[in-house]
Amino acid sequence: MISVEEAKQIIHDNVRALASVKQSLMEATGLVIGTNIYSPVDVPFFDQSAMDGYAFHFDSWKHTLLPITGEVAAGASAIETLTQGNAVRIFTGAPVPPGADTVVMQEKVVAENKLLNIQDELLQKGANVRLKGSEIAKGSLALKSGTRLTPAAIGFVANMGIAEVEVYGKITVAIIVTGNELQKPGAALKYGQVYESNSFALKAALQQLHIHNVITLYASDDIVDVMNVVERASAQADIILMTGGVSVGDYDFVTQALANFGVEKLFHKIKQKPGKPLFFGKKENKIFFGLPGNPASVLTCFYEYVTLSMSKLTSTFVPLMSTKIVELTEGVQKKAGLTFFLKGICTDKTVAPCGAQESFRMSSFAKSNCLICLAENETVYKKGSLVEVHLLPI
């Protein structure tokens, strides 16, 4: 067995970023930019009114009445130059006409008989005007390569008129569920069967990370069937996640099936609890994880290791879980020689271990917001001890 740190380093050293691809902006939320984005236009494209009000030339205003000589609506294309000493009615988003440099909001004026009486003692030159290029100038760097496209970033890029972007991370994941004892939720259980939940948890976790190209396949406890399903999955997916069958039981065929398929084993078994039997390998540019069958082990290994490989595939090179150091609310004892990942509830400064920590139990995981990382060679943690926690994505 290898340590947690060694396993993560092996993943880091063996996963390469996928080639970037062109993607519609509407479908790029959560993905990572593959090249720097430069603005093709000035934003705003023209001097723009930020308010409904009146536009005028500030230095020509002598605190006297200004004749109102016209109106400019949003979307107006034919704009005449404003003669100094006059004003025009203007609306939010409309072009500020040449000759004007200030907009007074309509709540600060009295307009009667086509004369404007400005009643804003605090008004300054240039007020309420969004200058051309003030958001971003044409040719300027808007977003760097490696930036994740959040909803705000999507809006920013759209505001520059860009409809298509080059991105990393259009990942396809195949989930292979193994085990004769498994039954799909919604069907009646026969004696000896259990409901299959791992594919549901994994698919939900992937969707949370903006990965929606997910294929779910099923294999019986038969090595030929497992090999056939692995071949089908690898033809379609970048990452293959297999659940169950990675231990040393008589019906655990996953590791042998992967070896027969030509997958290079990079590690199998980690000094940790839960999730000790974890397998990691690759074949050409395909990544394979053999996850344990117990549900809590599956999610723990997903968050600690699979997400690391995804960050490499998407060229971000950063973990998808944030880490912090907080105090334990109660003492904990553990065996030496294994890193423990305990489900916990973390607040700003403390973390409380949940009950029901066994690898088959999901009730505690359903309530937790973090994994408490207890070091391999430590055995006793007193109340108030500082521990590292990995915050789960929400």
- Ordered per-residue pLDDT tens for the chain, 394 residues: 999 999 999 999 999 988 888 999 998 988 889 899 999 999 999 999 999 999 999 999 989 999 999 999 999 987 899 999 999 999 999 999 999 999 999 999 999 999 999 999 999 999 999 999 999 999 999 999 989 899 999 999 999 999 999 998 678 999 999 888 888 889 898 999 888 999 999 999 998 887 889 999 999 888 899 999 999 999 999 999 999 877 666 556 788 899 999 999 999 999 999 999 999 999 998 999 999 888 999 999 999 999 999 888 887 655 678 899 999 999 999 999 999 999 999 999 999 999 989 988 899 999 999 999 999 999 999 999 999 999 998 7
Cis peptide before 274 (omega within 30 of 0): yes
Q: What gap in Å lies between CA 167 and CA 18, rounded to an integer?
A: 10
User: What distance, in Å, lies between the first and last C-alpha atoms of the chain?
Assistant: 32
Q: Residue for token digits 């509830």? A: 345
- Is the distance from CB of 292 to CB of 275 less than 8 angstroms? yes
pTM: 0.77
Question: Phi-psi bin for 270: left (phi > 0), alpha (psi -120 to 50), beta?
Answer: beta
Alpha-carbon separation of residue 279 from 99, 148, 232, 287, 311 (angstroms) = 71, 29, 19, 11, 19
Cα atoms in the Cβ-side hemisphere of radius 13 Å centred on 146 = 7
Q: What gap in Å lies between CA 230 and CA 212, rounded to an integer?
A: 20
pLDDT at res. 315: 73
Give the number of other Cβ atoms within 10 Å of residue 18's Cβ. Answer: 19
pLDDT at res. 163: 97
* Residue 260 burial (C-beta neighbours within 10 Å; 0-12, 13-18, 19+): middle
48-130 under CATH 2.170.190.11, yes or no: yes
Q: What gap in Å lies between CA 181 and CA 143, rounded to an integer?
A: 50
Name 282's Cβ contacts closer than 8 Å, sequence gap at least 6. Answer: 14, 15, 263, 264, 266, 288
> For the domain bounded by 4-18+171-313, which CATH number is listed?
3.40.980.10
pLDDT at res. 262: 95
Chain centre to alpha carbon of residue 211: 9
Under CATH, which architecture does the 22-43+139-168 domain have? Answer: Alpha-Beta Complex (3.90)
pLDDT at res. 29: 87
pLDDT at res. 18: 87
What is the 3-state composition of the chain as percent helix, strand, coil, each rounded to the nearest 5?
A: 20, 30, 45
3-state SS, residue 54: strand
For the domain made up of 322-391, give the CATH fold: Beta-clip (2.40.340)
Domain boundaries in the chain? Answer: 4-18+171-313, 22-43+139-168, 48-130, 322-391
Q: What gap in Å lies between CA 113 and CA 15, rounded to an integer?
A: 73
Number of residues in the chain = 394
Helix residue ranges, H only, the chain: 4-14, 151-158, 198-208, 223-234, 254-261, 295-301, 307-313, 363-367
322-391: same fold as 22-43+139-168? no
- Short-list 107, 117, 135, CA closest to 46: 135
Q: What gap in Å lies between CA 268 and CA 281, rounded to an integer?
A: 9
Greatest Cα pair distance, the chain, in angstroms, is 95
Cα atoms in the Cβ-side hemisphere of radius 13 Å centred on 252 = 15
